[in-house]
Structures are given as C-alpha cells and as structure tokens.
Structure 1
Amino acid sequence: MPAVAQQRTEAKVYRLAAVDASGRIRDQGIVRALAWEPGARLEIRERVGVIVVRRDPGGVFALTGQGHLLLPASVRHWCGLEAGDRALLTADPVADLLVVYPPTALDDMVAQAQGAVLGGDDA
C-alpha cells in the first residue's frame, strides 16, 4: 500500500525562475511572498553551493527599482549559475529568507533523493 502524503506544515513559496545575463531574477511573485519592496536592502551570500538572501537594512545589495533580485557576479560564479539557467527559489516569509538553488545544487538534491527512494538502483 502506498504511503499517504504528509500535510504541509510550513508556508514556504517555491518558484523556478531564469537568471538573465545581468544576474537578474525577474520573478516578482517570490518577492511579493516575502513582502519585500523595490529598493529593499539585502545581504546576499553563498553557502554550501546555494545563495542565501536576507533583508538587511545595512545590506550592500538591493532589489532593483522594479523589484527584481540582482545576484552579484561573484556569487553566481561561486555557484556555477549562468545566464539562462533556471534556479529553484524558496521563500520563507516567517524567517524573511530567500534561498536560491542553482542547477548544480538541484542535481545533488535529486541524486540524493533518488538514491534514497531507489535504494541505489538506477531504474
């Protein structure tokens, strides 16, 4: 008998969005979910292959005037995120936190999940 899906207990918001050549992510739904306004100051850091974004009044970075997230080139480079790549965006409104998972991080997560589900089998 198949397992019953668990109920969601957290109010996270997920989106897949492309990164343009300038490092912009134009998905405003994820920004709205966090209630971040255009021009909001941000702290943007790379952590273990993912990008962690927090609102920070003293932050060096900011949402664009249009409310787009602009990822610095150094962070994109560290994560292997290139123009045209799609990334998984996860917003946690309670923690006021956005995490960006580039394709390399998604590959690792999927490989681990498949290994757990398939018990190491490829098929």
Structure 2
Amino acid sequence: MTGRDLTAEQIVGALALPSPGASPQLEPLPLTAIRSEPDNSMAYSLGHIDRSGRISAPALLTNLGWSVGDHLNITALSDTLVLTRTPHGTHSVRSTQFVLLPHSARNMAGIRPGETVLLAAAPEYDLLLAHARTALAAMISTHLRSRLDSSPR
C-alpha cells in the first residue's frame, strides 16, 4: 500500500458517518488538518442522479483530471460511495460530463433515481465521494447539533 493509498483511506475513514442510531464517540481532529480559510483542496457539486445512475459533474471530473477510459474502484461505505482512480479498477470513466454510479453500488449506498447527491472531489488524493441524501441529512444534523452545543445558553 502506497502512502497515497493510506492517506486516502484515512480521509475516507474521517468522513465516514456512523450508522443510524449509533452514538458516535467523537475524537478531536488534528488542528493542523483544519484550515480556517476555504481553499481549493476540495471541490463540491450537488446533483440529481438519473435512472441510469448518471450525475452531471464536468467541473469535478476536470478538477480531478479524470479522462474517458480511466479505471475506477467504487467502494460503498454506508451511505457514501468512494470512487478512486486505479490502473486495474473494475469500472471506468465513460464521459467527462457525468459520473456514472453502477446500480449495485447505488443500492448499497441507498441512492435512488431523482435524489440529490453531494459529490466531493479531493484531487490531491485522486478520489471522489458521492454522498446519499441520508448522509447529507446526517452531516447537517451533526453540524447544527455541534453549533447548538457550543453556543452560550
């Protein structure tokens, strides 16, 4: 496993959400990894998935530098799909205009046609995250709870 693969796994692990109903034990993030100002290390896009599993994402694919024919691995982590470019991936980039999520992967992540999906590209790690609607709801809920917990009463 290369250093880049290990780092990509660490990012995915940090972004993985707990299963519903679980009471997560939150550990503090390393402060050096948190940037106080927005930067260009990540790119985001919201889109609707169509019946064939396509989500329009030309800017993200350009940002990642992915081209038609590049091989991808797709891993399901609860309600998030992780797409990584690899020489021997079982899937491939079919267009520079959209991301195609296979039916089996969509089912594992609970992504249904017509739903909104958050795509998050990390060019530095050559990976793309596709978050299902349930992941979006959990992220927003967690964010709001942390704000409420830290506000003076």
* TM tier relative to shorter chain: 0.7 to 0.9
* Structure number having the greater helix percentage: 2
Consecutive unaligned residues of structure 1, counting only runs of 5 or more, are none
1:18-69 Cα deviation digits (max 9, x unpaired): 1110001121111000000012110011013210000011111011145532
1:110 and 2:140 aligned:
yes
CA contact (8 A) 2:118 2:130 kept: yes
* Structure number having the greater strand percentage: 1
Distance 1:13 1:119 in 2: 28
State how 1:26-37 maps to structure 2 within 5 Å: 26-37=56-67
For residue 139 of structure 2, what is the amino acid of its counterpart? M
1:18 and 2:48 aligned:
yes
User: Which residue is equivalent to 2:75?
Assistant: 45
State how 1:57-96 maps to structure 2 within 5 Å: 57-96=87-126
CA contact (8 A) 1:87 1:102 kept: yes
Percent identity among equivalent residues?
A: 30
For residue 80 of structure 1, what is the amino acid of its counterpart? G
Corresponding pairs, count: 116
- Calculate the TM-score normalised by the size of structure 1: 0.86
- Calculate the TM-score normalised by the size of structure 2: 0.70
After the TM superposition, list the runs of 4 or more consecutive aligned residues in structure 1 that deviate by more than 6 angstroms: none
1:55 and 2:85 aligned:
yes
CA RMSD of aligned residues (A): 1.9
